[in-house]
Amino acid sequence: MITREMRRLSSFDANFLYLESPTSHMHVGSLAIFDPSTAEGAWGVERVRDIYTDRIHLVPQFRRRLAEVPLQLDHPHWVDDPEFDLGWHIRHIAVPAPGGPDELAALAGELMSTQLDRSRPLWEVWVIDGVTGGRFAVLTKAHHAAMDGMAGVQMVSSMFDLTPEVEPAPPAPPWAPDRVPGDLEMLARAAGSMAVQPLRTVRAIRRGTHALRMRRRIIQEEGRGSLAETLPAGAPNVSFSAPLTPERSFAFRTLSLTKAKAVKNATGTTVNDVILATCGGGLARYLEARGERVDGSLVAMVPMSVRGDDAAAADANKLMNMFIRLGTDLPDPRDRLASIAEQTASGKAQLRGGEGDPVRELSDFAPATLTAHMFRFIASHHLAERVTPLFNLTMSNLAGSPTPLFLGGALLVANYPLAPIYDGNGLNITVLSYLDQLDVGIVTCPQLSPDAAELPADLESALDELVSLTA
């Protein structure tokens, strides 16, 4: 019989809980499209429930809920939910007719506009029928405190097979949920955590200062000047650099990974560089079409996964951030790509061999209650609209499967990621590779970017332009 010790969230993971507000939802997700013609028999929500029932033990995070500390004197803990109900998490809905891309995108935006219930494990799966062509869609959403994008890809992949034949899952060991602790027990744990906080603080400062020294040394060896000179001085104000409303809109498009690799090979860059340059070119087109003049280049925060073989251990999020100028002010796409490649090379060199991100390491310095109140104060006073933004949007590039995947025998056709947006940074573009394609998911706030549905076509045009110029 398996029981698991309660695990305290790291400061980095807990910050995604504190960042959440009525207008900022901190869940990640994906919209997967399936062709059921490869599956035997009827395919729908019942088959998806059967798959998750057989394999839920492969993803222990799916049965864990939060145990909060009274007065937020310490970060919450993860505890196995004694009232776990798989049926509550897997739901069924139909896309409005005719079930095309526009209707599917609108439904996905609506489902991502509501927060997850913190009294239960922080995830949902929506099986969506009525998609054109006899297809189904599955929208998965999970809280960022429980997993980053790469972890989410790995966890959901546990439900997939490599062939249409459904492989039997490994035997599930007997499972005994934890007893949810009461307030007094959580306060006692908080007291123990506070007792070691001075030691934790010393270690955090030591790791953080070491990371800063490592970055400073690497930068000086590359002849790039000071550490401050490698960070953006600030990002320009654009229409989506404003406070959010609770609503979300979603747009998606599949681009060619083969084309991106052709540009990479012709220029000696990386696929990630080409994707960033494609987004820079697409955003330049998008802003020009809407008549929006921007002073300087847009800046993207680019989370980089540092997840190793210990993906199931320790923190749920294994991320470090780079800030990249996307060259939206550069008219030549080749100059844009070269500038981005230089920035990413420098950023990766700073991350390589270091003890980590100094911001992440120093996040353990502040007590939980101070951090929680600080984020609430920022959100309630709309401070995002009163300061110059550090970045304009978030961009991620995730590596998916190079081979076909199947869910209950149905072929995965495409898998479009969805990720959070923030007050002052109301645009997220995330790319997930699959087979020879790049599945692009774009999350915005409809009140800030009502015409964001035009952006996927702009991205495709920007990639085609790079191909033509570097052929």
Residues in the chain, overall count = 471
Number of domains in the chain: 1
**Catalytically active residues, by annotation:** 144
> Are the CB atoms for 235 and 384 separated by under 8 Å?
no
- Per the DSSP assignment, residues forming a β-bridge with 398 are 432
Domain residues for the domain of 18 are: 7-191
Q: Which two tokens stand for residue 189?
A: 């744990």
Q: Tell me the pLDDT tens digit for each residue of 394-440.
A: 999 999 999 999 999 999 999 999 999 988 889 999 999 999 999 99
Q: What is the CATH number of the domain that holds 143?
A: 3.30.559.10
**In-domain check, residue 256:** no
pLDDT of residue 422: 87
**In-domain check, residue 356:** no
* Percentage of the chain lying above the pLDDT 90 cut: 57
**In-domain check, residue 67:** yes
CA dist 313 → 60, 309, 355 (Å): 11, 9, 18
**In-domain check, residue 56:** yes
- pLDDT band, very low/low/confident/very high, at 226 (cuts 50, 70, 90): very low
Q: Which two tokens stand for residue 265?
A: 């090979």
**In-domain check, residue 31:** yes
**In-domain check, residue 148:** yes
- What is the C-alpha to C-alpha distance for residues 235 and 426, in angstroms, rounded to an integer? 13
Look up the pTM and report it. Answer: 0.85
pLDDT of residue 72: 72
**In-domain check, residue 456:** no
pLDDT of residue 209: 53
> Are the CB atoms for 49 and 352 separated by under 8 Å?
no
**In-domain check, residue 413:** no
Q: Tell me the pLDDT tens digit for each residue of 305-352.
A: 665 554 444 445 566 788 999 999 999 999 999 999 999 988 777 665
- What is the C-alpha to C-alpha distance for residues 451 and 251, in angstroms, rounded to an integer? 10
pLDDT of residue 363: 52
Mean pLDDT across 74-90: 92
Give the residue, 351 or 237, on which the prediction is more confident: 237
Q: Tell me the pLDDT tens digit for each residue of 160-214.
A: 999 999 988 888 888 777 777 777 776 776 665 655 555 555 455 455 554 545 4
